[in-house]
A = this chain, B = another copy of it.
């Protein structure tokens, strides 16, 4: 294997997760160990936009204290973006910037779209005879990346959701007089992984525990079946907890969250949200039943105070593995998590081609959905339970978590400004 010397660039992209910065900390930690290969360690601000704009910071200048705090800091510490590289002009600019700064290692921490960009960069540089090793670091709360057993970020989000549902259920069970339906809307536009995660709130063997009904986008919503399911739960106990993915659709494939029956002051359809839709269904179908709705929204992807240690450690490990693989000569790949075939849970890092990651979406397996389509099977629990184990010890700052704030020491610009 030919040794390659130069500078390393790391960037973050897409929706942040509770542990996205643990992946960054992993990259930093490993990069410092390869001083024969890696000279400077740079971060691009706001993903590929930071490369286009040559907006780099010197990550080696950050304090150890800050780096240690990264693993308990949500949001993307380097800033994120939603920019999709498309034009050859963009790619040529990236090559120009990489050459100017002698970038030989590039790690993009992100999901499908981000790894698509990684792939385009890797291919363009190779076609133009510039050697740079591109290894992606996986990240998404949606758990929809193919080839990897699961994604860093997912375990922490479902630990928060499961914790919250179990806690809410205690409150729901408190008020015994009226029937009560509690609806919690969670993230998941196209896949039910997050909603399914709520089912980890159930104690083993306690079918009557919340959540009683889980609605995922993979199973089209049928009003009658839903109303009957609620009725069945309320016939046994006085409260019913429903967890619904934001992306659930009717049998024609239309989002339920887009409520065309309600118009705003300008006559535009009002996006009432899935929980408002379901609340209306319950109120129209039952009399004397109270409803409550919770829509934590982006809190789901930022609740690092409730992050899973397993997840955080795996995110860090993925960052380390990306640098190691690149130094060892790999490129055009993303780190994946491979579940070990052992009695006890464990994962080891593997690699998969960026091109295959970029174009796939992992749906929730049909066979893991319970009969009737509104509960989650034991196969999922077996799969997901190890991912939520352990807690991340954050640092307290007057009663709230202390956050890493990067100094952001700028790297001198060497190229002319980019004109798109």
Q: Residues of A at under 8 Å CB distance from B?
A: 12, 16, 45-46, 49, 73-76, 79-83, 159, 162-164, 166-177, 182, 200-201, 203-204, 261-265, 270, 272, 276, 280, 292-299, 301-306, 308, 385, 388-391, 396-401, 403
Specify which chain B residues have a CB less than 8 angstroms from the CB of A276 in the assembled complex.
270
A140–chain B nearest beta-carbon distance, Å: 14
Which of B82, B164, B177, B204 is the one whose CB lies under 8 Å from A175?
B82
A222 to B297, CA, bound (A): 26
A204 to B200, CA, bound (A): 38
Interface of A, helix, strand, loop or mixed by DSSP: mixed
In the complex, are the beta carbons of A168 and B299 less than 8 A apart?
Answer: yes
In the complex, are the beta carbons of A403 and B166 less than 8 A apart?
Answer: yes
In the complex, are the beta carbons of B270 and A302 less than 8 A apart?
Answer: no
Which of B200, B264, B296 is the one whose CB lies under 8 Å from A261?
B264
Copies of this protein chain in the complex: 2
The answer to whether residues A294 and B305 also contact, given A82-B175, A167-B401, A176-B46 and a CB cut-off of 8 A, is: no
Specify which chain B residues have a CB less than 8 angstroms from the CB of A293 in the assembled complex.
295, 297
The answer to whether residues A171 and B261 also contact, given A308-B399, A398-B385 and a CB cut-off of 8 A, is: no
A262 to B81, CA, bound (A): 34
In the complex, are the beta carbons of B302 and A399 less than 8 A apart?
Answer: no
In the complex, are the beta carbons of A82 and B400 less than 8 A apart?
Answer: no
A109–chain B nearest beta-carbon distance, Å: 12
In the complex, are the beta carbons of A299 and B303 less than 8 A apart?
Answer: no
Which of B76, B170, B176, B177 is the one whose CB lies under 8 Å from A403?
B170
In the complex, are the beta carbons of A297 and B298 less than 8 A apart?
Answer: no
Specify which chain B residues have a CB less than 8 angstroms from the CB of A200 in the assembled complex.
398-400
The answer to whether residues A159 and B399 also contact, given A171-B301, A172-B75, A295-B293 and a CB cut-off of 8 A, is: yes
A188–chain B nearest beta-carbon distance, Å: 16
Which of B49, B174, B303, B389 is the one whose CB lies under 8 Å from A177?
B49
A201–chain B nearest beta-carbon distance, Å: 6
A299 to B49, CA, bound (A): 37
In the complex, are the beta carbons of B292 and A295 less than 8 A apart?
Answer: no
In the complex, are the beta carbons of A302 and B403 less than 8 A apart?
Answer: no
In the complex, are the beta carbons of B294 and A166 less than 8 A apart?
Answer: no
The answer to whether residues A174 and B75 also contact, given A262-B264, A292-B297, A297-B294 and a CB cut-off of 8 A, is: yes
Which of B164, B174, B201, B301 is the one whose CB lies under 8 Å from A80?
B174
The answer to whether residues A167 and B304 also contact, given A75-B174, A200-B399 and a CB cut-off of 8 A, is: yes
A308 to B171, CA, bound (A): 18
The answer to whether residues A296 and B294 also contact, given A389-B399, A399-B308 and a CB cut-off of 8 A, is: yes
A266–chain B nearest beta-carbon distance, Å: 8
Output the nearest chain B residue to A201 by Cβ-Cβ distance.
Answer: B400
Specify which chain B residues have a CB less than 8 angstroms from the CB of A399 in the assembled complex.
159, 162, 200, 308, 385, 388-390
In the complex, are the beta carbons of B171 and A400 less than 8 A apart?
Answer: no
In the complex, are the beta carbons of A163 and B401 less than 8 A apart?
Answer: yes
Output the nearest chain B residue to A396 by Cβ-Cβ distance.
Answer: B391
Specify which chain B residues have a CB less than 8 angstroms from the CB of A270 in the assembled complex.
262, 270, 272, 276
